[in-house]
Structure 1
């Protein structure tokens, strides 16, 4: 029973982190049909920005936890908005209408560029932002001890998911975005400024990626290469849930998180394998993912 309880808690914590990472990736693909490989670098940018700001704050004598969290979130959002705007306006806008494979190659090139740029700016020395993590302490859930910060990450992922759902399902802008998803040409013919919506969508997706990195920074050591590792796992999650579906990203993250936790507690040697085994098993029966929909062929 203890093992089952540990699998549930660890799986939920890991799933909440996976959803934060994958949400921006699936939003961008759903609206723009761009599989943004640079999303991993946006995650890393958020982590570096948060770690730098928190390290500076505590080194300068700060001791207010709420200010540290404000810096963490604020810096992650700011760098995500700026980076997303530059990437979309400066490069991706010139590629609209091209083959999706070409867009994949372009975003992969952006990932490599950003990885080297981060090394030039922050160097190769690890950055640590552990203060918010330790400040929230640990809590007992039954006989298990859980970090308060990780519980907070679960809450953040729930809030982000709720906001995204409300935005897409209950607001005028969300309805316009859904019309673009279903038929881009008809939306444009009805007067929708599709390019402006693309810019907004990409910036929001980029901000979601940097927020994920920012809230992860206190848990890990921020080093070069973390973005490359993350994009592979995020890709597995969104493919499992269905590319372009927020609900699919949430369910996919939950399935992958629980499967990984079960593997760690029962067969740790299969930890890496189990994520992709789950993805393969889903795709055998649902080629477009759990909540993905086949695109109608236009003639």
Structure 2
């Protein structure tokens, strides 16, 4: 039973982190049909910004420790809104009618540019921001000890997933976005400001990426290359669940997270391969992903 508890809780924690990373990626693709390779860089920017602000705050030594959580959120929102707006207005708005494959190449180039820009701004030395992680203490569950910060990430991912689903399915803005997804040209003909919808979507997706980075920063060593590492995992999740589907991202994150947890506890030698094994099996049976839909292409 102890091993079962460990597998379930570790799997849920890892799945919540995977969903946080993949949520922005699937939102952007779902509306804009852009497979954003630069999403990992947005994650890294959020992590570096959050680690820098929190490190500066604790270096002063005068403030209340719990304010550091607000600083993490402020870092994520500020960096996400700024970088998302600059990238969308300065680059992507001129590329919307281009081929999807070209957009992949463009966002990959953006990934390389942002990786080097991050090094120029923050340096190459790792950042350690452990205070918010240890501040919440630990809890015993089924005879095992878990960090409360990790358990809090599960709640955060649930709230973000529920919020995204409610916005897309229960609000006027969500219905407009779904109309844009179904037929962009008809949406324009009906008076929908598609450019504005695209800009809002990209900024929201970017902010979700920086939020994932900022919330992860206290639990990791923030160092160069973290953006490249997470983008591979994010792609695995959204491909398994189905590109552009929030429900698919949730199920994909749970499937990948629990499968990896089983491998870590029962067969650690295959842990590095199990994620891609799950992806291969799903795609062999359902190439569009578990919740993906076949889309008509204009010729």
Deviation at 1:162, TM superposition (A): 1.2
Moved over 6 A (4+): none
Residue by residue over 1:242-298, the C-alpha shift from the partner in whole angstroms, topping out at 9 and shown as x without a partner, is 000000000000000000000000111111200010011001111100000000233
Q: Which moved more, 1:9-18 or 1:263-272?
A: 263-272
1:65-76 alignment, distance < 5 Å: 65-76=65-76
Conserved? CA contact 2:241–2:290, under 8 Å: yes
Gaps of 5+ in 2: none
Distance 1:81 1:239 in 2: 26
Distance 2:297 2:74 in 1: 43
Aligned to 2:11: 11
1:48-127 alignment, distance < 5 Å: 48-127=48-127
TM-score (norm 2): 0.99
1:1-299 alignment, distance < 5 Å: 1-298=1-298
Gaps of 5+ in 1: none
Secondary structure (helix, strand or coil) at the match of 1:124 reads: coil
Distance 2:66 2:99 in 1: 46
Conserved? CA contact 2:7–2:262, under 8 Å: yes
Aligned residues, how many?
A: 299
Distance 2:126 2:45 in 1: 14
Distance 1:231 1:283 in 2: 19
Deviation at 1:65, TM superposition (A): 3.2
Distance 1:198 1:128 in 2: 35
Residue by residue over 1:58-94, the C-alpha shift from the partner in whole angstroms, topping out at 9 and shown as x without a partner, is 0001442331000001111110110000111101111
Distance 1:72 1:265 in 2: 32
When the two chains are superposed, the root-mean-square deviation of aligned CA atoms in Å is: 0.8
